[in-house]
Chains A and B, each alone.
Chain A
Amino acid sequence: MSGRSRVLRWAIPLAVVPVLVLLAYGFRTDPRDIPSPLVGKPASSFKLTAFDGKPVALEALRGQVVVVNFWASWCYPACYEEAPSLERAFQAYKDRGVAMVGVNFQDKDEPARRFLTQFGHTFPNAPDPAGRVSVDYGVYGVPETYFIDKKGRVRFKQVGPVSDEMLKQQIERLLAEAA
């Protein structure tokens, strides 16, 4: 066999390797990862009325770490997957200066209440009838969760469901900071 075709013999299969490597690299990136311009900025305040009739205001929670979660009863399966984690985190941290607020996004009253009963949420949840809070926070789709530090700044935004570990990690990080 000539030298040229010996080279070809290796070159043909090897030529595709860079392409495969590039595609594999694609797994490390997320095309939907759009950084929120709100991160680092003061969280916009809101006053809502919870499903149980009590007022919920961000202002009143200043000085605490606040987790604001946007959800909907029609958001299946992501909102259903994360719901137990949220309640668990609330139970674990409510006595350590962490508040949690659920904002119900473009939903109907009855299925929303059924959702809350199903998961036995004890943290305040409020409908956002005019969608104003969702717009202020730039909610792109549910679920989305915002982590607000003790100084009232948005520090992290999670698009998609949250997990136990992630809630723990973000909350602990913000708790460790000075007020």
Chain B
Amino acid sequence: MTPELGYAATVAALILAVYGSGAAALSAVRGRADLRLSAERAAVGVWLLVTTCMALLIYAFLTFDFSVRYVAGNTNLGTPFYYRITAVWGALEGSIILWAFMLSIYTLIVVARYRRTQPQLYPWVLAVMLGISAFFLLVMTIPAPPFERLSPIPADGRGLNPLLEDSGMITHPVALYLGFTGFTVPFAFAMAALIIGRTGEEWITITRRWTIVAWYFLSLGLLIGGWWSYHVLGWGGYWAWDPVENAAFMPWLTGTAFLHSVMIQERRRMLKLWNLTLIILTFSLTLFGTFLTRSGIIGSVHAFSQGSVGQFFLGFLALIVLGAFSLLAWRLERLHAQGELDSIVSRESAFLLNNLFLVAAAFTVFFGTVFPLLSEAIKGTKVSVGAPFFNLVNIPIFLALIFLMGVGPLIAWRRASAENLRRNFLKPVAIGIVAALVCRLAGVANALVLLCLALVVFVAATIALDFARAARARRRTGDGWLDATWGLALKQNRRYGGFVVHLGILVVALGVAGSQAWSTQTEATLNRGEAMELAGYTIRFEGLEGVEESNHAKVVGTFTVADRKGPYTVLTPAKKFYPQEQTPIAAVDYRLGFMEDLYLVLGEFARDGSHATIKIQVNRMVSWLWIGGFLLTLGAALAILPEPRRKPAVAHAGQTAPA
């Protein structure tokens, strides 16, 4: 029954979405409120139906309903309960449902929030969002139906991809897709603004927080992806410039550029054309990311499948890009800047440079990702560019971006005076240089690390300086230190949220620099009882043990580790053997630390347990990535908070708001 119900719900949702999109557009053209109401009901209907699909699929997974092809392909009787739920989005069809589901929720929120407040823009926004929903529902109906029936019904399913049996899988796709779909909202507002010709700052002001939400989830998705790669894949890294990682990174880069350049437009009414271009690019890149994953045109560890899904996505991508840019071209004369750039030494130009670098980074990543296609098209040979290309091109760009991160928030608008520069930057520059010198004397020899460190300290100092100054100003009005700081963070949450995000990025940057420069690894074959040393750790091989799990068997190695001070820990890396996989999967074991992680991967071993090959890595400062990520999360959350009203609704007893 489930396959038929699910399919019916999908088709009904598709029809409703198409109808709703048309009705919303018509209501805007004819000014008919009844049609608009009908479109809103359609949006609610789409949400209900997609939720039903989601629930049906989860139910099918939980009850091992192998009459559904997708369930049989991605689970088996041994799959634990927890992973049966995450298996829902473990492959193509389910991830499209997840996408449609999130989009329907966003649409509902847009309906609830803007139906009264934005009478002109809103119907078009609704039309665009429902139109995009319709595309995903179409994919669910024709090329990738999650509810396809399987006949005859097999006794057991194939099982989930073992690499996806990880807690990260519950959060990584969800966060990533919330980010991807989140950009639909600003995109839809941008299109609406172009259609009705209100190309001012309105759409940007409305969608500012939406953009931060999308950006926040996308960042979170990338970070969790890095964490998954680090602790599951067993190669000791967190980022490999894999095409699909790149696909998620590109919209992040252009989205970050957008996040910054809208500030210029809000403030100076410049860059209208640029901002529209950026949001179109960002949204298109989210589609491109999905296209890349689903089409199988570029080889990747993530690629799901080949089939007609790719053609559907490419068609839709073409429609969106050509449609959006044509709209933009049509409204070109309304997009002239009202302000202009007064000086090269100004906040505007710092932001412009930031945009330039971010877009350049996005372009190089794009170029590197599609390079195999390009070379095959032109020279007929498959050539991939790997990490060396991406690192070579991107490291200077990112260092420059860090530098601008320090300059942008403090430099004066319009034209910075010598006094402004001296007041804001003299001390931080000095502190940065001194920090680098101290580290050089302390023995840090890597020039790139020193440069990164100097820049990071410089930026951190500008933030500290600014914050101290503002807090001091508030203290003069009578607040205590604590109140002054907190009050500041909450009162100007957008500014200070941004600063906290910047701090998070700085910590991530140090983590990247440190882990690239100082990590060390070795590989050795040890007899039972034999020990080896790496970077102050003594690792002893104690033996092997076989364990049967519900859906796989594993061989676990036991290694006792001592550091300079004595016994440290016991690590148990394993190899898992899944019947449906040709090659065993390594299960890494590690001990995370603030400055370094000890990371063990079990390699070949003798069946009798007499010897085993072990890869040992001491990864330095990788934890800084996760700490930085946490800071970034805090900062983004702070920036998402609604801007406080003049008077707080509930005043704390005994505390008066400063005038």
Contacts and interface: CB of A to CB of B under 8 A. Distances in A.
Contact of A13 (B322, B377, B579, B580): B322
A13 B325 contact: yes
Contacts of A30: 296, 306
B372 A31 contact: yes
Nearest to A80: B154
A74 interface: yes
A76 B72 contact: yes
Nearest to A23: B314
B205 interface: no
B45 interface: no
A77 interface: yes
A24 B314 contact: yes
A96 interface: no
Nearest to A2: B333
A29 interface: yes
Contacts of B370: 22-23
B297 A27 contact: yes
A12 interface: yes
Interface in B124-174: 154, 157-158
B329 A12 contact: yes
B314 A16 contact: no
A99 interface: no
A122 B157 CA distance: 26
A142 B582 CA distance: 8
B377 A22 contact: yes
Contacts of B322: 13, 16-17
B334 to A, nearest CB: 11
A8 B332 contact: yes
B311 interface: yes
B44 to A, nearest CB: 35
B211 interface: no
B330 A9 contact: yes
Given A74-B580, A77-B73, A142-B582, A8 B373 contact: no
A24 B315 CA distance: 9
B38 to A, nearest CB: 32
Interface string A9-42: 1101101110010111111011110000000000
Contact of B318 (A5, A20, A75, A142): A20
Interface string A68-79: 000000111100
Given A8-B329, A74-B580, A76-B157, A26 B317 contact: no
A108 interface: yes
A36 B154 CA distance: 33
Contact of B297 (A13, A15, A17, A26): A26
B314 A31 contact: no
A66 B109 CA distance: 63
Contact of B295 (A20, A22, A27, A142): A27
Contacts of A17: 322
B579 A108 contact: yes
Interface in B56-101: 69, 72-73
B289 interface: no
Chain A's interface size range is 20 to 34
A75 to B, nearest CB: 8
A1 interface: yes
B158 A77 contact: yes
A29 B376 contact: yes
B373 A25 contact: yes
A135 B556 CA distance: 26
Interface string B366-409: 00001011101100001000000000000000000000000000
B577 to A, nearest CB: 10
Contacts of A26: 295, 297-298, 310, 373
Contacts of B330: 9
A97 interface: no
A106 interface: yes
Contact of A32 (B299, B317, B328, B374): B299
A12 B373 contact: no
A39 to B, nearest CB: 18
Contacts of B376: 29
A9 B295 contact: no
A120 interface: no
B420 interface: no
A89 to B, nearest CB: 22
Contacts of A55: none
B233 interface: no
A13 B277 CA distance: 11
A138 interface: no
Interface string B303-330: 0001000110010011001100110111
Interface of A: 1, 5, 8-10, 12-13, 15-17, 20, 22-27, 29-32, 74-77, 105-106, 108, 141-142
11 contacts: A10-B329, A12-B328, A13-B321, A13-B322, A16-B322, A17-B322, A22-B373, A26-B297, A29-B376, A32-B299, A76-B580
Closest 8 CB pairs of A and B: A26-B297, A31-B299, A76-B158, A13-B325, A9-B329, A12-B329, A74-B580, A13-B326
